[in-house]
Amino acid sequence: PSLLESVNMADMDTETSTQAVVGEEEPLFSNLDLFLFSLIVGLVIYWFMSRKKPEPIPEFKKIDTPETSFIEKMKKTGKNIIVFYGSQTGTAEEFANRLSKDAQRYGMKGMAADPEEYDMGELSRLSEIKNSLAIFCMATYGEGDPTDNAQDFYDWLQENDDDMSGLNYTVFALGNKTYEHYNAMGKYVDKRLEDLGAKRIFDLGLGDDDGNLEEDFVSWREQFWPAVCEHFGVEASGDELSIRQYELKEHTDINMNKVYTGEIGRLKSFEVQKPPFDSKNPFLAPVTVNRKLNKAGDRHLMHLELDITGSKIRYESGDHVAVFPTNDSVLVNKLGQILGVDLDKVISLNNLDEESNKKHPFPCPTTYRTALTHYLDITHPPRTNVLYELAQYASDPKDQENMRKMASSSPEGKALYQSWVLDASRNILAILEDMPSLRPPVDHLCELLPRLQARYYSIASSSKVHPNSIHICAVVVEYKTKTGRTNKGVATNWLKNKLVTDNGHKSTVPMYIRKSQFRLPFKATNPVIMIGPGTGIAPFVGFIQERGWLKQQGKEVGETVMYFGCRHKNEDYIYQEELEEAEKNAVLPQLHVAFSRDQDQKVYVQHLLKKNKENIWKLIHNDNAHIYVCGDARNMAKDVQSAFHDIAEELGGMTRTQATDYVKKLMTKGRYSQDVWS
């Protein structure tokens, strides 16, 4: 009994013993005394016994934790080259895998590694391994930021001053010229390692995704390996054969409960959902609204609402929602048909390198259908290494020759890849259809295709107003290619078909939140200038909701200014009702809309900015306004920035250089934020 129970029992005993002794001689010890005495003795014995007992040694089951020391792993497996990747959409990881495979062709042994999984403090120890080299394939994300998996490595580089004098390294950077901070992460790693005393054995490679990232990589790689061979005094083995990384295992009688059906991380995670939800464990959010936003025109702009009730997911206005789409079943079935494959066969692809942290290229065991639907990218034009590896399966020597040529760095080969694959937007299915002699084994194709990636959208709601709901605004991608085929955007077409109820079932979207730096000012009294044409309006729908909510709370809210743009007022003026309502309620005192095609000469948001230059300059220069730009990076964001340069030059009495510096300073102070894509 608990102590409280014991005391209550003692009380009862007192009562009964009192009744019992009426008219009798009182015994030497009352029942209560005996009880309390027994209790004390009992407690003493208990304390004595429990004190003497040796602590049982807990049995530890050996948990299979991955090795965090890459040095030990390299020593154990005889590897001398390690390729670290900072990857957000999978491309840098793909390049890292290609480089680690290349090493074998040059008589060396390489491994690709995720910096998040290893202790990067060991870099200075790499010199313990003979002829060692660290290669860094580093992508830049957002506004010059590291990718999620390289954030800790970036922080470590900034904080540490370890002596790296024994480290041989090289960097290939992946970026996009349309962005302000082109290849910032790759440039930083390259410079920082040099500052710490490491030896750069080949020049920094700069890949530009706005041009031809694949070509940039292939050209850099062609010069890189001869430089490595020269540095270490080794000769290329000339072994140009295809090297398989995984072996196929077909499962004939397997319990289907052990088979992955599209889960990203844990098996059955879509059936039994457990928070926290992230990129490895997405939440299945039911779709509660899916409506077309535009009134007319040939495009389909849509607004979706995802229900996150009970998920413990938190978000802020300006964050991104990541969704995991699936490929069109029509494409998957055609691939199965053309390769003569039973798509429902259960398989595993197992890494031939047993020491590798990456046991499979995608969750296994699974079926070919699931792999091609959920896990593999079958819609992007394949990279040159895929063509090179598949060439051996073409029965027509001419096809073989062309595929190998496209993967070479010869000007003729590059031009052929550019025109036949990229300009023609040929995906793997189109290549197989247009090359009837090419029929690779499906397992090798599955090994080579890149992973299907999550897609990011700017959230179009405020959590203050919609704590249990996340809104998405997107335009469906669909276009005709030069070969006459219709290509459809994977995620937007998948979202378009997410009806609220599908045959009585709720449609769900696997999702998680990615935090962003795109935030409303800390002080609500700061004015905000928002510029977001087209679907670039998304985060500002959330911002306007939030400013309205702050006003309702009785807070003093600064001037809220919106510059929106679309083609025609009566076609694609999306969120018109919401914007005009906010204007009427003085939540949005200034609403400026550019209808680019409603008159002879085109009018865009940057023209309206210049038209209202006095007001803009006063808000920025005197009232400490924050500027936000969202949408197309290639043209709009640049033109808008240039409009601000013009305004600063004209009204601030500055030279062009001073005006440019003025805007740059606003950016570093966090008063000019961009959420742009190309």
What pLDDT, in 10s, does the model give residues 313-353?
Answer: 999 999 999 999 999 999 999 999 999 999 999 999 999 98
Q: Which residue of the set 225, 549, 617, 677 is catalytic?
A: 677
Is the per-residue pLDDT at 56 higher than 60? Answer: no
Over range 664-668, report the average pLDDT: 96
Can you tell me whether residue 626 is helix, strand or coil? strand
DSSP 303: E
DSSP 77-90: HT--EEEEEE-SSS
pLDDT above 70 covers what percent of the chain? 90
Clarify whether 677 is annotated catalytic.
yes
Q: What is the CA radius of gyration of the chain?
A: 32
Q: What are the structure tokens assigned to 103, written together?
A: 């090493």
Task: Kindly indicate the confidence band of residue 143, based on its pLDDT and cuts at 50, 70 and 90.
Answer: confident
Q: Is the peptide bond before 533 cis (omega within 30 degrees of 0)?
A: no
Helix (H) or strand (E) holding 389: helix 384-390
Residue list, annotated binding site:
87-92, 139-142, 174-183, 209, 299, 455-458, 473-475, 479, 489-492, 535, 596-597, 602-606, 639, 677
Task: Kindly indicate the confidence band of residue 44, based on its pLDDT and cuts at 50, 70 and 90.
Answer: low
What pLDDT, in 10s, does the model give residues 502-531?
Answer: 788 999 999 999 999 999 999 999 999 999
Task: Kindly indicate the confidence band of residue 59, based on its pLDDT and cuts at 50, 70 and 90.
Answer: very low
Residue list, annotated binding site for NADP(+):
299, 535, 596-597, 602-606, 639
Q: What is the CATH number of domain 528-676?
A: 3.40.50.80
Q: How many CB atoms lie within 10 A of CB 37?
A: 11
Determine the residue type at 402.
N
Q: Which residue of the set 458, 462, 463, 507 is catalytic?
A: 458
Residue list, annotated binding site for FAD:
455-458, 473-475, 479, 489-492, 677
pLDDT at position 21 is 34
Is the per-residue pLDDT at 145 higher than 90? Answer: yes
What pLDDT, in 10s, does the model give residues 464-494?
Answer: 999 999 999 999 999 999 999 999 999 999 9
Domain residue limits, the chain: 70-232, 275-325+454-516, 326-453, 528-676
pLDDT above 90 covers what percent of the chain? 85
Q: Which residue of the set 377, 630, 632, 673 is catalytic?
A: 630
Task: Kindly indicate the confidence band of residue 107, based on its pLDDT and cuts at 50, 70 and 90.
Answer: confident
Give the CATH number of domain 70-232; options: 3.90.45.10, 3.40.630.30, 3.30.930.10, 3.40.50.360: 3.40.50.360
What pLDDT, in 10s, does the model give residues 236-257?
Answer: 776 666 689 999 999 999 999 9
Angle of CA points 310, 316, 322, to nearest 5°: 70
Q: At which residue do the structure tokens 């005709």 appear?
A: 480
Over range 12-35, report the average pLDDT: 47
pLDDT at position 9 is 35
CB 67 within 8 A of CB 111: no
Question: Cα(205)–Cα(96) distance, rounded to whole angstroms?
Answer: 13
Task: Kindly indicate the confidence band of residue 38, based on its pLDDT and cuts at 50, 70 and 90.
Answer: confident
CATH homologous superfamily, domain 275-325+454-516: Translation factors (2.40.30.10)
pLDDT at position 7 is 34
pLDDT at position 49 is 58
Is the per-residue pLDDT at 15 higher than 70? Answer: no
What pLDDT, in 10s, does the model give residues 529-581?
Answer: 999 999 999 999 999 999 999 999 999 999 999 999 999 999 999 999 999 99
pLDDT at position 43 is 73
Over range 648-652, report the average pLDDT: 97
Clarify whether 229 is annotated catalytic.
no
Beta-carbon contacts of residue 223 (< 8 Å; ≥ 6 apart): 202
pLDDT at position 240 is 63
pLDDT at position 180 is 86
Instruction: Work out the mean pLDDT of the chain and round it to a whole number.
Output: 91
Task: Kindly indicate the confidence band of residue 657, based on its pLDDT and cuts at 50, 70 and 90.
Answer: very high
Q: Read off φ and ψ for residue 112, nearest 5 degrees.
A: -90, 145
Contacts 24+ apart (CB under 8 A), 33-37: 35/10, 36/10
Of 33-42, 115-124, 148-157, the poorest mean pLDDT is in 33-42
What pLDDT, in 10s, does the model give residues 430-452?
Answer: 999 999 999 999 999 999 999 99
Give one word for 78, left, alpha or beta, with left for phi > 0 and alpha for psi -120 to 50: left
Q: How many CB atoms lie within 10 A of CB 422?
A: 13
Task: Kindly indicate the confidence band of residue 12, based on its pLDDT and cuts at 50, 70 and 90.
Answer: very low
Q: How many CA atoms lie within 13 A of 428 on its CB side?
A: 29
CB 294 within 8 A of CB 286: no
pLDDT at position 51 is 55
What pLDDT, in 10s, does the model give residues 160-171?
Answer: 999 999 999 999
CATH 3.30.420.10 fits 326-453, yes or no: no
Is the per-residue pLDDT at 399 higher than 80? Answer: yes
Determine the residue type at 19.
Q
Clarify whether 675 is annotated catalytic.
yes
Q: What are the structure tokens assigned to 109, written together?
A: 């042994």
pLDDT at position 24 is 39
Determine the residue type at 216.
D
Residue list, annotated binding site for FMN:
87-92, 139-142, 174-183, 209
Task: Kindly indicate the confidence band of residue 4, based on its pLDDT and cuts at 50, 70 and 90.
Answer: very low
Question: Cα(237)–Cα(450) distance, rounded to whole angstroms?
Answer: 27
Clarify whether 678 is annotated catalytic.
no
Asked if domains 70-232 and 528-676 share a fold, the reply is yes
Q: How many CB atoms lie within 10 A of CB 512?
A: 22
pLDDT at position 671 is 98
